[in-house]
Each structure stands twice: as structure tokens, then as C-alpha cells.
Chains A and B, each alone.
Chain A
């Protein structure tokens, strides 16, 4: 009797089962698949040559270049910062630790517009560092450095947020064992710590990269919207949309979606690769 009861709970009646599955599928279709279909549908509506023309257009190409450049700087920097910070925070216990963990979440907590304004207040002509920057002829906001800084700021919690719980849970027993057996610091890191966190790390990097390429609010505040120079792909998509150039706007959006799909494919590839290496 008892086991039958449990079985009943584990395998709900067919109708409920089907209903739950159907709800999930409808939800997926509505919120994930439909938008993708719309983006690519609109982008290719006037034919592939028009789409290609919108992509190789000079301003779109420069936006693509800038977006990749920003991600190429921000992601490795945050990868490095994320590992260092979570290692320090997870493996050691010190006064103010939980405060710092909370602080790392700050970029998630504040609106991206505020993140952008922080940099205007810091590096604008009338900002804290403004007079010094002007004297030394350095341009930070309304130029590429400002965009990179703003992107770094909004994306920096991703890696650390993934790693801190993981590393805390793993504790430092394995590292201690390695050290007692005579390994030095680097060996311990490469052979013990890094392999243990690689999944979380990979996931954090992928999220970080996706946001770095897609960030709109903070970048919009510090960009200055100079065409062909300080517009990233998301900004370019908005500009084109506002110019009644809907096909080109969706072409640029499809490029962004495409970059996201590449990121996902990369994740899949690396995952399977690592699995293969492990089974050998």
C-alpha cells in the first residue's frame, strides 16, 4: 500500500503530466523561440542581399568591431578578477568578508543607467577626475575607454557570483592535501583549484560575455553615440530602428542573436570536449 502511494506521487496521472509538459512547451515557444523567429524573420524579410548589405555597411561593421573589442577586453579582465576575488573570499575567512560579497553584487543591484552615470560623474569634464583628464588630454567617457569601463562594471559579478558558492562548498581540504604532499602554490591552483571550478567558471564567462555584448543602458549613457565610432551593436540597432530602417535594425539585431548562438555553441563544444578528455 505504502509503496503504491509513493509511486502514485512520483508519477502523477497522465493528464497532469501532459498539462505540465504542454505549459512548459508553450512557455518556451512564446518567450524564447518566437522572439528569435521574429528577429530572423524581419531581418531576412527583404531578402538575403539586403540583409548582407545592412551587415557590411560601414557603421554596422564598426559597431560589430567595437562590440567584439569591448567583450575581448571586459571578459578576460572579469575572468581574472572573478577567479582572484572568489578564491580570496571562498578559501579564507576574514573580517568584512560578507560585506565584500554583497558589494560584488552592486552592479546587479543598481540600474544600468546609474552605472553609466557613475562614470560620467567620475570622468566627465566636471567630474571628480575631469580637470586632471583634460590637462593630460585623456578622453574616457564618450570614447571607447568609457564604454569598456561601463561594460566591465555591469558584467563583473557574473564570474565571481558563479564561483564563490562553488568554492565555498568545496572548501580547502583538497588544496591543503596537495600542499602537504609538497605541491607549490601554482601547482595547487592549476591541478586542484582550477579543475574543480571549471564548469562554474565556464558558465560565468559565457554569461559575462553575453551581457558584455548585449549591454545597452550603461553603454548608452557613456557612448556619446558618435556614428561609426562609439556605437555598439545594441545602440546601432536602436538608431536604425529610429530611422525607420526596420530591416537594417533587425539585421543588426540578428547579428547580435547570432553572436549569442555562437556563444552557446561554444559552450556546448567545450563541454563535450572536456567530457571526452575526462573519459579517456
Chain B
């Protein structure tokens, strides 16, 4: 018995040394980009482009690794120790969370790159079945009797939070006529009434949602593969991708009268790149997203480039014209929006818990 226990401990020690040897091997020429769900195709192309550029510039061969998942889940993984050199997530709040909870990057990360660190933007549109049998044209059509809406869970999905905020903003815009009134104390009473209407609308909207998926890709599959629902509130790029991959004869995109300007940000994770010795490469990787070549790739994958002039004209033509408002204007930035709407005990919790009443 003693011998066996001794043997067991010995094996554990041997095994322990084997596994600890593994990850310390030189990682200098590797870069890990931790991203959200719908960017898979975009970064596949961009990584090839950047590797070529870096090879030309420094004569180094590099390997860029990707990880994809729901934006909030990915931020959580980085906080728990996923060794990201660069994060490219769905919304600023998730990178704020990394900064706040793990101090891996400074709080002012968003001002370190152009356009709030967002090299591309997107918006929220509707995907409906071919012929638009339920005649959906705008946000208010989503709450008509008998319409089933697909959107992921705002608690876990970045895209779903944009969806929710877009719906809210639509009502505010409809009620107030001008969104400029929101930050003007003169109209405080009017704004309050509009907010009550917005809350009632969003609450009604979630009564039309039969399943809440955890991420944008899962929700797409629910709508497209499992054929559940009449309308799918989606990232613009995700809607285009679904149509291209699965057939123009099955779905069409509907652009609502007004939607939100979504700015998915990118950031270098300072502490990780210092530890890996990859700072130069990581910073170049983020900066190069604003280059001509990258902006062209961005438009090709249906993200709206911040420099449209760099993109191919034919790619730009595919984007419908959408009237967009920003999260700063209607919600006073991500921190406020998160706290008021999505934190535990926030408005989303309240409307979702009472949705069956």
C-alpha cells in the first residue's frame, strides 16, 4: 500500500513537470486575437493580410491564432487568464470589464486608437423569410400579434445588447422627434414619458421571443437552420453572411427606419504583450486595421469601414442607407447603458421576469 501511494505521488510529480514544461516555450512569433462570434471570416482574411505585411516589413514569419465566442464570455476568459495579445470584441463595455477587473490594460484604452478604437462599425437590421410574409417593415411591426422574434440573450451576447438598445432608441426617437432633447434638462419630463413608452415596447418585444440563445451565431442558427421565428434581429454583417451562405432565395434583409451605430472596439492587452514580448507586433496589428488593405477586407465582409474611401465602391454599394444614432447620445455611453439596463436587477431583468404576466 505504501509503495503504491509512493508510486502514485511519483507519477503525479513526473506528470506535473511534463505539463508545466509545455506552455513556457518561446511564443515570440505568435499572436493571439480573442474575438467575438461573427468576426470569424473577417479575421481569417485579415490575419493573412497582416502576416504578409509583417513579413515584408520585418522579415519575421508570424502565426496569428484566433479564438471566437460570445463577447461577454470571451472577456470573462481573458479576465480568468486566457493569454490574449489583442482583443477585438463586440462592445466597449466588455473591454472595460477586462480593464476594471484584471488591470490588464489601462482604463483609457479606448482613446489610444482612432474612432474610439473601432476600425469598423456595424448596425442592427432585420432578417426575414423570403417574401416577408409577416410584412415587417419597422420596429413596431415586431410586436404585432403572431410575430415571433429571434434575438440572443442580452446578458451574455454583445450583439443582443445592441439589439435591445436599438429597439429602445427607436421608441425614444419616435416619441421625442429629436434625440437632442435627451440631454437637455428643459425636456426632462418629456424624456421620462418617452422612456416609459420605450420600456413598455421592449417589454412587449421580449414577449415575442420564443428562445433566447447565448450568442449571435447560435441565434442565427436557430432562425436559419431550425427555422424558428419570423424575424431575426441581427448584426448587419451576420444577416448578409446568412444570406450569402444559405441562399438568396430564402431570406431578405429589412432595414428599419432607425437603428443604432454599433462600434465594436479593438485593444492591445498591455500586461499580456509585455509578458509575451509581443507589444510591437500587437500594436501594429491593431493599427494596420485602419490601413487601405484592411479597410477593403472589412468592407468585403460586410462591416462598415471607418474610411469608406479605401474600400471598393462595389462593396460599399451593398450597404443600405440606415439612419443611425449613437449609444452616447441616447444612453450616455456603455457604462450607463450597462448599469441601467443589463446589470443584475436592471431593466432587462425586470421585463424578462415579468414577461409571462
Binding site for B on A (CB under 8 A): 73, 77, 80-81, 84, 87-88, 120, 123-127, 130, 134, 136-145, 148, 224-229, 239, 241-244
Contacts and interface: CB of A to CB of B under 8 A. Distances in A.
B218 A126 contact: no
B245 interface: yes
B59 interface: no
B67 A224 contact: yes
A88 to B, nearest CB: 7
Interface residues of B, number: 35
Among B19, B24, B275, chain A packs the most CB atoms within 10 A around the CB of: B19
A142 B11 contact: no
A132 to B, nearest CB: 12
A80 B8 contact: yes
B292 interface: no
Given A124-B81, A142-B81, A244-B246, A227 B23 contact: no
B82 interface: yes
A141 B68 CA distance: 16
B65 A229 contact: yes
Contacts of B246: 244
A224 B79 contact: no
B265 interface: no
A80 B67 CA distance: 35
A244 B82 CA distance: 26
Contacts of A137: 24, 275
Nearest to A148: B19
Contacts of B13: none
A243 B244 CA distance: 12
Contacts, number: 80
Nearest to A88: B1
Contacts of B245: 244
B83 A142 contact: yes
Given A125-B81, A144-B23, A242-B218, 10 more contacts: A73-B15, A80-B8, A88-B1, A126-B101, A143-B23, A224-B67, A227-B67, A244-B241, A244-B245, A244-B246
Contacts of B241: 244
Interface string B6-24: 0010010001000110111
Contacts of A136: 20
B294 to A, nearest CB: 20
B80 A125 contact: yes
B8 A144 contact: no
A225 B69 contact: yes
B102 A77 contact: no
